[in-house]
Structure 1
Amino acid sequence: MFKPLLALSIAALFTASVSAAPITYKIEPTHTYVQARYQHLGFSTQSIRFDHIEGTITLDLEAKTGAIDVSVDSASLSSGLATFDGHLNGKDHLDTTAFPKASFVSNKIKFEGDTPVSAEGELTIKGISKPVTLEITHFKAQPHPMLGKQAIGADGLIRIHRSEFNAGKNAPAVSDATDISIALEAIAQ
């Protein structure tokens, strides 16, 4: 009776130590996108969507630590109008020929209880890097019901001033303050 109990105890310890290890999640591109929102001439709030995002999120939910490394294909933007997309891809705005990628990198994730609520990191747009805080407005971690692997989902928000990234054309008529939101899902590797 002692041997089975000892074996069970050792197995439980091994399982607990495995579950406490950091897990690296790869962004699932069909359910992840970035959106930028800004005021246009005071008339309306406009949105631009970026469709090609890649990267990883590493989390240790028990230790309450993690890292984010995400890049966006800047030319994957979509305003809904091809002509306007070309304008936004131009030198006066994102200059996607010279700067094809934007990125967010963080090694400092803040938790409240068991939930990540923000990440301090560096946002790079047009080759200019600035410290920013990503507010995590929604987070969920659980096994993916269709893939059978551990998965995470999150929504987040960063507020920037376009002019800080050499993208402030037409400000203040077109608002300098811009909200960048991300909706993501990522699957454990």
Structure 2
Amino acid sequence: MKSKLLIALFATIGLSSAFAAPVTYATDANHTFAQFEYNHLGFSKQTSRFNAVTGTVTIDQAAKKGSADITIDTKSVDTGSALFNNHIQGEDFLSTTQFPTASFQSSDMIFKGDKPVALKGVLTLKGVSKPVTLNITNFECKKHPMSGADYCGANAETKVKRTEFNMGKYAPNVGDDVTIMIAIEGSKKD
């Protein structure tokens, strides 16, 4: 009798987790940024960021699946220099008048055990779409210690060639390889 009760309990637990709904998290504007890094004339690695990144990430822990839909306001580029911000927004690079946003969309979240380790998707930058894999270097979901809301956060990165996105000005003197790093935090959508 005891074993039948345990089997029924485990079956119920198994069914409830198998049918657990995916959870969607909306980005926290104050803690979500995209940075990029490249070699400048062999002197240094320059790091800049985009200050306005929005979107959602959906995670289904039970099914080990997930997706992401992220939009970057390219006019929010912040190099630390107003002069260089204008230069990088020009036609040779981001061309923000014609392409005011960049995006990353994925419906292929890769898990290792219980944690996501990568997102395979499409990066669209300056009107060019290319497949990329964001490798997740940090991932955590828990109650936010200040607000009490359900929260997730992650860090992820990928490398692209800027010449493949029609931004090859000064290559190879200014490095063609660009590392993109994303820090993202978000709260559960109701």
Q: Which runs of 5+ in 1 are unaligned?
A: 1-8
Aligned to 1:130: 130
Aligned to 1:85: 85
Aligned to 2:48: 48
Contact 2:111/2:118 (CA < 8 Å) preserved in 1? yes
TM-score normalised by L of structure 2: 0.90
In 2, Cα distance between equivalents of 1:176 and 1:62 = 40
Which secondary structure state, in structure 2, belongs to the residue aligned with residue 31 of structure 1?
A: coil
Aligned to 1:5: none
Aligned to 2:160: 160
How many residues are matched? Answer: 180
- Report how far residue 61 of structure 1 moved: 1.1
Which secondary structure state, in structure 2, belongs to the residue aligned with residue 30 of structure 1?
A: coil
Which secondary structure state, in structure 2, belongs to the residue aligned with residue 141 of structure 1?
A: strand
TM-score normalised by L of structure 1: 0.90
- Report how far residue 41 of structure 1 moved: 0.5
Aligned to 1:104: 104
- Report how far residue 17 of structure 1 moved: 5.0
- Report how far residue 21 of structure 1 moved: 1.2
**1:95 counterpart = 2:95:** yes
Counterpart mapping for 1:140-151 below 5 A: 140-151=140-151
In 2, Cα distance between equivalents of 1:119 and 1:65 = 10
Q: Which runs of 5+ in 2 are unaligned?
A: 1-8
In 1, Cα distance between equivalents of 2:50 and 2:135 = 19
Contact 2:17/2:62 (CA < 8 Å) preserved in 1? no
Aligned to 1:29: 29
In 1, Cα distance between equivalents of 2:188 and 2:19 = 13
CA RMSD of superposed structures (Å): 1.9
In 2, Cα distance between equivalents of 1:143 and 1:108 = 25
Which secondary structure state, in structure 1, belongs to the residue aligned with residue 30 of structure 2?
A: helix
- Report how far residue 16 of structure 1 moved: 3.9
Counterpart mapping for 1:177-188 below 5 A: 177-188=177-188
In 2, Cα distance between equivalents of 1:131 and 1:183 = 20
In 2, Cα distance between equivalents of 1:159 and 1:80 = 22
- Report how far residue 150 of structure 1 moved: 1.2
Which secondary structure state, in structure 2, belongs to the residue aligned with residue 38 of structure 1?
A: strand
Aligned-residue sequence identity (percent) comes to 46
Could you report, residue by residue, the CA deviation over 1:40-86 in whole angstroms, capped at 9, with x for unpaired residues?
A: 00010001110000000000112100000000000100110100100
Change beyond 3 A, Cα 1:19–1:80 = farther
Which secondary structure state, in structure 2, belongs to the residue aligned with residue 57 of structure 1?
A: strand
